[in-house]
Amino acid sequence: MTARVSTGLPKLDAMLGGGLLPGTLTVVYGATGIGKTHLGLTFADHGRVADGARGVVLDLNGRGDSQQHDEYAARLFGWTLTTWRHAVPPMSDPYPPAAELQAFYSNALPWVGRVREFQVPTTDGGVEFDWNWKASYNHALYTVRPFVYFHFAAGTRRVVVDGVEPMDAPADSIQLFVFDELYRKTIHRDAETLGMEICLPVWKHRAFIDAHRYDHARITTLLLVTTEETRLEDLLARKVATGDIGATANTIVALGSERVGNRLARMLCVVKHRGSAKSDEIVEFRIGANGLEM
């Protein structure tokens, strides 16, 4: 039986047939304030127990309140969530200072809005990304790719991506475009290739690259997507649109609110869990002093 990846929430693990499948992508949908960040930080922090290293948190800045990650992490887990600053331009010394490996948070990808806002027309009637944006994006990757690579090399096996703003058409979202690029070309790139792309010249750093190989197929990713829908029923009725990352995700978890008597309750259900049995339950949860409680 395939070893499972615990979310850090026993009830949710049970609903997932024992936990997430390693190396897969899980998308968590829900409105702002419903508890997605609590779930994401719980998953990342639990890596300390389950994997020997916490997960990394990549904030795509869509909410405008990134400091809450620090507050939640400190209050719930005694975790000082410091920001990774180390950048590795080509042919520079790649290795981060030792203290930098205690920085599990990055907000180096600040772009929000629609893809077309970052594109310009071409002479043949098409469109392409503006070269100024491409230069800025590539510059940001000098920080983000080492952030991911060196943490994976040090034992991290979990990635949480937060701060995705709501969008009528997912294909329009610059944030989902950036995530897709990062997921395919960095998070799920094999360790040797990624190491050779970051640690240049390769001959000089070959010993480090070979000594720090990891299985990229066991990196488990949680993508937190903010939706316009707030009610769980509306989330469950949501149609799969062009460019919706949930269509290709292994697992989908929906967080929404529903009226229960004279109060508004938070509800959770597992919509999809490919390759595994799952519960069909709709479960109430609360955000309490200890975070997300089911």
- Share of residues in the chain with pLDDT > 90 (%): 88
Query: What is the rounded average pLDDT for all residues in the chain?
Result: 94
Mean pLDDT of 130-137: 97
How wide is the angle at C-alpha 267 spanned by C-alphas 263 and 269, nearest 5°? Answer: 165
Residue 62's pLDDT is 64
Could you tell me the two tokens for 167?
């969008």
CATH of 22-109+137-253, one of 1.10.10, 3.40.50, 3.40.720, 3.30.70: 3.40.50
Which SS3 state, helix, strand or coil, does residue 125 take?
coil
Contact status, residue 37 vs residue 255, Cβ threshold 8 Å: no
d(CA 18, CA 30): 23
CA angle 162, 76, 235 (to 5 degrees): 40
pLDDT of residue 155: 98
How distant, in Å, are the alpha carbons of 131, 135, 168, 182 from that of 118? 9, 12, 18, 17
∠ CA 281-287-289 to the nearest 5 degrees? 135
Angle of the 174-182 helix axis to the 131-153 helix axis, nearest 10: 40
**228-284 per-position pLDDT tens digit:** 999 999 999 988 777 789 899 999 999 999 999 999 999 999 999 999 999 999 999
For residues 232 and 226, is the Cβ–Cβ distance under 8 A?
Answer: no
Q: Give the three-state DSSP class for 198.
A: helix
Distance, CA of 243 to CA of 191 (rounded, Å)? 28
Burial of 218 (0-12, 13-18, 19+ CB in 10 A): middle
The whole model's pTM is what? 0.96
Q: Rounded CA gap, 43 and 66, in Å?
A: 18
Distances in Å between the alpha carbon of 111 and those of 31, 149, 164, 165, 246? 20, 22, 10, 11, 21
pLDDT tens digits, one per residue of 148-194: 999 999 999 999 999 999 988 899 999 999 999 999 999 999 999 99
- Please give the Cα distance from 159 to 4 (Å, whole number): 16
* pLDDT tens track for 58-81: 999 866 555 589 999 999 999 999
- From first CA to last CA, the distance across the chain in angstroms is 26
What whole-number percentage of the chain has pLDDT above 70? 97
